[in-house]
């Protein structure tokens, strides 16, 4: 399924950014990549992505801070957000979905498809029951 808009990946780890970008592009999705939260905020406003996948732990600005900033901006508040982290106890309240690293590529693709194809209100309600996507 092509979402009609790029998927924005925000991660300070170049290897992880490349891996996620490759998975998404192999599945037919356009991508945009930012190496930190500030660049991610700028790209989110410029690109208007279908969904944002963001690492939790980054220097300068944590993923949760990126998501809270996006949620408070009317221009980006409606963009679905997926938190990606290696910490199973991370605060997920700022996101519509959660990927626990390491994860299987298909698990990420399935989660993104579900989040983009489901209205945001339903995503928020289902999030409390959501299992961690880990491969």
Residue 134 covered by a domain: no
- How far apart (Å, rounded) are the C-alpha atoms in residues 58 and 79? 21
Residue 92 covered by a domain: yes
Q: Which tokens go with 21?
A: 């970008």
**Domain with 112 in it:** 7-127
Q: Which tokens go with 132?
A: 């961690």
What's the total number of domains in the chain?
A: 1
Residue 124's region, left for phi above 0, alpha for psi from -120 to 50, else beta, is alpha
Residue 76 covered by a domain: yes
Any idea what the CATH number is for the domain that residue 63 is in?
Answer: 3.40.50.2300
Chain centroid offset of residue 8 CA: 7
- How far apart (Å, rounded) are the C-alpha atoms in residues 51 and 43? 12
Per-residue pLDDT of the chain (135 residues; tens, 9 = 90+): 667 789 999 999 999 999 999 999 999 999 999 999 999 999 999 999 999 999 999 988 999 999 999 999 999 999 999 999 887 777 777 788 889 888 999 999 999 999 988 875 444 444 433 444 444
């Amino acid at each position: 399924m092509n979402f009609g808009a790029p998927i924005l990946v925000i991660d300070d780890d170049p290897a992880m950014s490349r891996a996620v970008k490759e998975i998404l592009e192999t599945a037919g999705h356009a991508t945009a990549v930012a190496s930190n939260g500030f660049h991610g905020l700028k790209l989110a406003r410029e690109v208007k992505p279908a969904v944002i996948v963001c690492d939790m732990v980054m220097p300068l600005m944590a993923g949760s801070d990126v998501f809270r900033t996006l949620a408070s901006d009317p221009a980006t508040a409606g963009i679905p957000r997926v938190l990606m982290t290696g910490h199973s106890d991370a605060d997920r309240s700022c996101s519509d979905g959660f990927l626990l690293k390491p994860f299987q590529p298909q698990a990420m693709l399935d989660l993104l498809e579900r989040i983009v194809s489901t209205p945001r209100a339903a995503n928020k309600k289902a999030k409390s029951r959501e299992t961690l996507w880990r491969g």
